Amino acid sequence: METQEIGNQTIKVHHYNTVIIGAGAAGMNCAVHLYEFMTDKGIEDAQNRIAVVTAGLASGASRMSGSDKQTYYKMGTSCEMADSAEEFAESLAAAGCCHGDLALAEAIGSLREFYHLVQAGVPFPHDSMGSYIGYKTDNDPYERATSAGPKTSKDMSECLEEQVRRYGIQIHDHNEVAQFLTVGDKDSKRIIGIATIDKKTLTSNDYALNIYYCRNLVLAAGGPGELYQTSVYPKGQVGIHGIAFKAGLSAENLTESQFGLASIKFRWNVSGSYCQVIPRIFSTDSDGGNEREFLADFFPTMSKMATNIFLKGYQWPFDPQRIENLQSSLIDVLVFNETQKGRLVFMDFLHNPLGNDSMKEFDIEDLEPEAYEYLKKTGAVKSMPIERLFAMNPLAIEIYKENGIDLYSEPLEIAVCAQHNNGGFAVDKWWQSNIPHTFVIGEMAGTHGIKRPGGSALNAGQVGGLRAAEYIVNVYDLDTPDYSDEHARINQQLGWFATTLDKYGSSSGLVGKEVIRRIQSRMTASAAHVRELNDARKALAEAVKDYKKIQYEGFKLENAEDIITAVRAEHLALTSVAYLKAIVELLKQGSGSRGSHLVLADDGMEIHPDVTNKATGKPLKFKPENEALRNSILRIKCDPQATDLFTCENISVRDAPADKKAFEPAWHDYREGKIYGN
């Protein structure tokens, strides 16, 4: 094992052609494609040129998250309804702020990647003729969605991991990424390696550092889940946004996160069947007493209320455009309103919804036709929600049982949680970032627009990995690079890094866990699904102050584990500044309520006199979307000299390429490798 000495630390050094950070569905798929493309090119030891580096093989959203039947949104495979890549791309980009070339690439690559997963062994259901059956999800005009069950993304990651292991690709587990190593400046800047801390062998004196040098780097470290207090991201899903910003990557659409109803004791989405079986939703005080049917005061009839609970199933993300006129996102607002009062909200599968004195009792036959017909079609016209859930999707009950919650005996506590970021780092149509040789895939890449059809995150992650791998293998050298010329610059950065870690060890610094808690509480209060300009400005100023304080004071460490917490706290602090800065800039442009967040304004529309703004105690009023902004995307970049540490610009949405060549010239371009040019 090659080693390098920095200060009093011995660092293990590794060399690869391509390093992938992250072992979720996106990262694993990219590793598989890289190996296959390299092998096709005649590289005999492709497995020695690729490495997957991850903080936790069993961690991340793909491995730990899901819902009733976690959705994979692909191009239609129905025997009766024709679909096309252009129509699919239109659905992806329908709500605006989505680059046309990325949407089209995700559409064109969709079935190739879907069948790649089928080949890898993911148990997507098909009928006796081999047809993959679809269903309808939120924002989905067709039945393009499919599922392998509550844990689709886990199945995907595990099947792909098996392939990675069969190919002999190294997976470096327990490695928290702490720093990128860069050379060059401005346009010549390159990320040539990453420094990690091995969490398993870390001690107070030995930081267990590793360096992975590479020619190409693929970032697949997922979303910044730990930014939020009220979150359905799996615990420990930190991501590496802060590190990537520091290295100079630009991000887009950070403002467009998704929020929705999820259970919080065991973090899981309560979308799909959980709502379609129409459970009772009620609240209690913080001790579990004083039960209230709080939804009933806001709906005129039991039928309307129950039908809206049903619709939440496939209109899952909170959507400010589905509040008015008693639509399904009113439920998210009311759940949030209730939790703001310090009350707890539950979903109860043992009772049908209870109304108030002016409502009829729940009767399944009174449901609006869309709900009733679906229940009939799925064989779920039963008397109680738990029976309907068992009939419709027994695995949805099983998943809670596996996690210590028996839906036959206890209600589920729920809240409106942060779930996904549609935005992320900016990529071109080959998923390459603004720094050549660095690619971003999966949830870290900002390829979605304001809204996305449910399930399209998993599709995007697979296509992104395919595109990045194809580009790397066909355009860049496949050697293992030698950076000895850059010795001085690398050592300087490693020296700074080791000094930072030493500084963390001072006895008087900040406590990492407290810093993270402060970030999470601020982000949930000011950067989640309810936003207001002055409040966001205040939160941004506090976040900048916190980040600067970390630079001056460092962290107090009591044990080795605190080093990891400190690294995370520092990068989450910078990430939170980026998200808040983007939010402030967008609000300043008068963006209004869009995607999955409400924007409050005194002159906005009132929801209901009893739905109040916690800060003012007055009725909550929100501003509609400014649709003129749908053709521009807010891009953000770290600039340590800027007052808020980041600068923003509006860029135009890129169109999909319109040129269609005849077969022969297209074949020529392909043979000559011209397809990889601009």
Ligand X SMILES: Cc1cc2nc3c(=O)[nH]c(=O)nc-3n(C[C@H](O)[C@H](O)[C@H](O)COP(=O)(O)OP(=O)(O)OC[C@H]3O[C@@H](n4cnc5c(N)ncnc54)[C@H](O)[C@@H]3O)c2cc1C
With CB under 6 A as the contact rule, the residue among 148, 164, 177, 197 that binds ligand X is 177
Q: Which is nearer to ligand X, 161 or 585 (CB)?
A: 161
Residue list 421-460, contact with ligand X (CB under 6 A): 442-443, 455-458
Minimum distance from residue 60 beta carbon to ligand X (Å): 3
Minimum distance from residue 31 beta carbon to ligand X (Å): 11
Beta strands across the sheet bearing 621-622: 530-531, 598-606, 621-622
With CB under 6 A as the contact rule, the residue among 220, 472, 539, 557 that binds ligand X is 220
With CB under 6 A as the contact rule, the residue among 91, 419, 432, 575 that binds ligand X is 419
Three-class SS of residue 302?
A: helix
C-beta atoms surrounding 406 within 10 Å: 9
Residue 194, Ramachandran bin (φ over 0: left; ψ between -120 and 50: alpha; else beta): beta
Closest CA to 218 of 180, 165, 161, 166: 180
Minimum distance from residue 457 beta carbon to ligand X (Å): 4
Indicate whether 238 belongs to the interface with ligand X (CB under 6 A). yes
Indicate whether 420 belongs to the interface with ligand X (CB under 6 A). yes
DSSP string, 122-173: ----B-TTSPBP-B--TT-SS--EEESSTTHHHHHHHHHHHHHHHHT-EEET
CA angle 246, 252, 256 (to 5 degrees): 120
Indicate whether 24 belongs to the interface with ligand X (CB under 6 A). yes
Minimum distance from residue 267 beta carbon to ligand X (Å): 7
How many residues bind ligand X, per CB under 6 A?
42
Indicate whether 176 belongs to the interface with ligand X (CB under 6 A). yes
Closest CA to 297 of 617, 612, 619, 611: 611
Q: Which is nearer to ligand X, 76 or 355 (CB)?
A: 76
DSSP string, 481-535: ---GGGHHHHHHHHHHHHHHHHHHT-TTSB-HHHHHHHHHHHHHHHSSSEE-HHH
Minimum distance from residue 666 beta carbon to ligand X (Å): 31
Residues, the chain: 678
The span of 12-20, 25-33, 78-86, 584-592 binding ligand X (CB under 6 A) equals 25-33
Three-class SS of residue 197?
A: strand
Indicate whether 219 belongs to the interface with ligand X (CB under 6 A). no
Q: Which residue has the tokens 């020296």?
A: 495
With CB under 6 A as the contact rule, the residue among 30, 34, 55, 89 that binds ligand X is 55
Task: Compute the distance between CA of residue 514 and CA of residue 511 in angstroms, rounded to an integer.
Answer: 5
Indicate whether 418 belongs to the interface with ligand X (CB under 6 A). no
The span of 123-131, 207-215, 219-227, 621-629 binding ligand X (CB under 6 A) equals 219-227
Minimum distance from residue 355 beta carbon to ligand X (Å): 30
Indicate whether 27 belongs to the interface with ligand X (CB under 6 A). yes
Indicate whether 519 belongs to the interface with ligand X (CB under 6 A). no
* Contact between 458 and 25 (Cβ < 8 Å): yes
Report in angstroms the alpha-carbon separations of 482 from 5, 112, 487, 492.
18, 35, 10, 17
Indicate whether 464 belongs to the interface with ligand X (CB under 6 A). no
Task: Compute the distance between CA of residue 160 and CA of residue 52 in angstroms, rounded to an integer.
Answer: 12
Indicate whether 461 belongs to the interface with ligand X (CB under 6 A). yes
Q: Which is nearer to ligand X, 229 or 419 (CB)?
A: 419
Indicate whether 224 belongs to the interface with ligand X (CB under 6 A). no
Report in angstroms the alpha-carbon separations of 43 from 187, 211, 214, 567, 644.
30, 24, 17, 37, 47
Q: Which is nearer to ligand X, 218 or 600 (CB)?
A: 218
With CB under 6 A as the contact rule, the residue among 7, 56, 184, 436 that binds ligand X is 56
Indicate whether 62 belongs to the interface with ligand X (CB under 6 A). yes
Minimum distance from residue 316 beta carbon to ligand X (Å): 9
Report in angstroms the alpha-carbon separations of 139 from 72, 151, 443.
14, 21, 19
Residue numbers of the site for ligand X (CB under 6 A)? Answer: 21-27, 54-56, 59-62, 65-67, 70-71, 153, 176-177, 220-222, 232-233, 237-240, 268-269, 419-420, 442-443, 455-458, 461
